[in-house]
């Protein structure tokens, strides 16, 4: 299985927009890609213009998945997955999540340019978020053996959050494919440009800006992402 694991420096930072843009870009280039998200929380909240994560990912990927195929677990409260599961009286099993992700990748079929199954997995929150009390989002990325793409804000504070995320990824043995600053402004300020250059230099990582996009123009936005260099 090949693919990418999309994490972020925080919640609400653009992981879903980036993951869906990657799926749309791969689909537009003729690859067949499946999407996965281990747990979706916050169904009690109103969705934004991009909709629920699993719905957005199901529509951006092209392996014929339904929203419920994309994620095995949904919870109402907008809290960490380990707490959402506890509140619901559900026990999440890491092995089942890994198997579910691989199963969805198989659903994509071996039609990618490489002949391997192709999966884009969106994490939950950031890398150090617990899925179960003892199993972090980072552990899932390691178990799936996927390189990570880090969604980050262009704004003040992003240097620290992004470099911490890169360090945590590498400390766990993960390869960092790249950072995506999102939404990247049409006319970035000197500080935003500096943030991007500083992260690239200190993080020794490629940084791409994803311009503001909309749910029906994901492939257009995704076309700027170097997805085949990351894979």
Active site residues: 37
Q: What are phi and psi of 71, to 5 degrees?
A: -130, 135
Q: Could you say whether residue 53 binds Mg ion (CB under 5 A)?
A: yes
Q: Could you say whether residue 117 binds Mg ion (CB under 5 A)?
A: no
Q: Is the CB of 19 or the CB of 174 nearer to ligand ADP?
A: 19
For the chain, what's the residue count?
A: 231
Q: Is the CB of 1 or the CB of 210 nearer to ligand ADP?
A: 210
Q: How far apart are CA 10 and CA 8, in angstroms?
A: 5
- In the complex, which residue's CB is closest to Mg ion? 16
Among 1, 5, 7, 16, binds Mg ion (CB under 5 A): 16
Q: Are 13 and 151 in contact (CB under 8 A)?
A: yes
Q: Tell the smallest beta-carbon distance from residue 37 to Mg ion (Å).
A: 7
Residues that bind ligand ADP (CB under 6 A): 8, 11-17, 48, 50, 151, 182-183, 210, 212-213
Q: Is the CB of 91 or the CB of 186 nearer to ligand ADP?
A: 186
Scanning the structure block, which residue is given the tokens 């420096």? 9
Maximum CA pair distance of the chain? Answer: 49
Q: Is the CB of 117 or the CB of 208 nearer to ligand ADP?
A: 208
Instruction: Report the site for Mg ion in 142-171 (rule: CB under 5 A).
Output: none
Q: Are 170 and 200 in contact (CB under 8 A)?
A: no
Size, binding site for Mg ion by CB under 5 A: 3
Q: How far apart are CA 140 and CA 138, in angstroms?
A: 5
Q: Tell the smallest beta-carbon distance from residue 227 to ligand ADP (Å).
A: 15
Question: With the C-alpha atoms ordered 102, 103, 106, 108, is the resulting torsion angle positive or negative?
Answer: negative
Q: Tell the smallest beta-carbon distance from residue 86 to Mg ion (Å).
A: 21
- 3-class secondary-structure state, position 152: strand
| Residue 167: half-sphere exposure toward Cβ, Cα within 13 Å | 8
Q: Tell the smallest beta-carbon distance from residue 113 to ligand ADP (Å).
A: 25
Q: How far apart are CA 39 and CA 74, in angstroms?
A: 6
Among 15, 52, 73, 196, binds Mg ion (CB under 5 A): 15
Which residues of this chain interact with Mg ion, rule CB under 5 A? 15-16, 53
């Amino acid at each position: 299985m090949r693919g990418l694991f999309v994490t972020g420096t925080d919640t609400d930072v653009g992981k879903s927009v980036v993951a869906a843009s990657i799926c749309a870009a791969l689909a537009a280039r003729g690859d067949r890609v499946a999407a996965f998200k281990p747990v979706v929380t916050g169904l009690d909240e109103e969705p934004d213009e991009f909709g629920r994560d699993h719905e957005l990912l199901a529509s951006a990927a092209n392996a014929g998945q339904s929203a419920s195929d994309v994620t095995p677990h949904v919870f109402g409260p907008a809290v960490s997955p380990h707490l959402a599961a506890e509140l619901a009286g559900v026990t999440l099993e890491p092995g089942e999540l890994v198997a579910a992700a691989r199963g969805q990748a198989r659903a994509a079929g071996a039609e990618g340019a490489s002949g391997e199954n192709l999966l884009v997995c969106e994490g939950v929150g950031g890398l150090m978020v617990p899925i179960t009390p003892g199993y972090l989002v980072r552990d899932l990325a390691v178990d799936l053996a996927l390189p990570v793409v880090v969604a980050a804000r262009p704004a003040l504070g992003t240097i620290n959050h992004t470099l911490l995320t890169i360090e945590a990824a590498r400390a766990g043995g993960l390869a960092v494919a790249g950072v995506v600053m999102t939404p990247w402004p049409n006319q970035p300020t000197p500080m935003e440009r500096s943030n991007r250059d500083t992260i690239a230099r200190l993080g020794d990582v490629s940084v791409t800006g994803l311009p503001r996009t909309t749910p029906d123009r994901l492939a257009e936005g995704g076309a700027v992402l170097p997805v085949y260099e990351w894979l």
